[in-house]
Amino acid sequence: MPSPTRRRRPSQGRSRATVEALVEAAAQVFERHGYAAGTTNRIAERAGVSIGTLYQYFADKDALLVAVAEEHLRRGAAALVPLVATLADDPPPAPAAALGDLLRAMLALHVDRPRLHRLLFEEAPLPERIVDGVVALEAEFAGRVADWLRRSPSVTVDDADTTAWLLVQAIEGLVHRWVIHPPTAGDDERFVAATVALLTHGLGGAVRPAPRTTAGGGR
């Protein structure tokens, strides 16, 4: 039984290359034109095959989108799952280090094709199956983060579950907004430093080495 997104299984090397080219072309066309204006004819043309070939491997336009989303998700999970797993280490990783690593990993996942992820999960009509998968993955991450918060001696939060959810959502959302509308061009480390400081110490954070005892804002 073929995958629900595929119509025909490629068996020879030639057709496997065709399918790869189609998924890549779909990602490019969707990224550039959006979902509605990303026509199947354009995708086939971009992939260098005819429209008939496209419909031999994909049941409909949605199947193409799903294939792109699955590929994107696969890469994201591959990069983040091991990182999140380290939160279970003993002793638990320090907040600043852990959050910085996560932020840098998320940034790396979004530097190229920044519009694609947004398109996949906000603009385009992904089937519930995929959306549920993402929600489940986020929930799993939040659960592991909550455990980590509870096990960390330097962390004292009232509501570990809600705070963990906030952390997961904030990291994902802020990285997104940063890569799409950066207020200052490209200074990624500045973004990471400020975000880590905000999340670990809040507005009272960023204590400089040996600060004056007088009151005074930063800088």
As measured in angstroms, the least distance from the Cβ of 11 to a copy of itself is 36
> Cα–Cα distances in Å, from 131 out to 70, 96, 121, 176?
11, 30, 8, 18
Q: Which of DNA, a copy of itself, none lies near 15, with the C-beta cut-off 5 to 8 A by kind?
A: DNA
Residue 54 burial by CB count (10 A; 0-12/13-18/19+): exposed, middle or buried? buried
Q: Three-state SS across 97-156? A: HHHHHHHHHHHHHHCCCHHHHHHHHHHCCCCHHHHHHHHHHHHHHHHHHHHHHHHCCCCC
Confirm or reject binding of residue 133 to DNA (CB under 7 A).
Answer: no
Binds DNA (CB under 7 A): choice among 56, 80, 83, 86: 56
Return residues touching a copy of itself (CB under 8 A): 34-36, 95, 118, 122-123, 125, 135, 139, 142, 149-163, 165-167, 169-170, 173-174, 176-178, 181, 183-184, 190-191, 193-195, 197-208, 211, 215-219
CA 124 to chain centre: 16
Residue 154 in contact with DNA, rule: CB under 7 A: no
Is residue 41 a contact point for DNA (CB under 7 A)?
yes
Minimum gap (Å) between residue 95 Cβ and DNA:
46
Does 39 bind DNA (CB under 7 A)? Our answer is yes
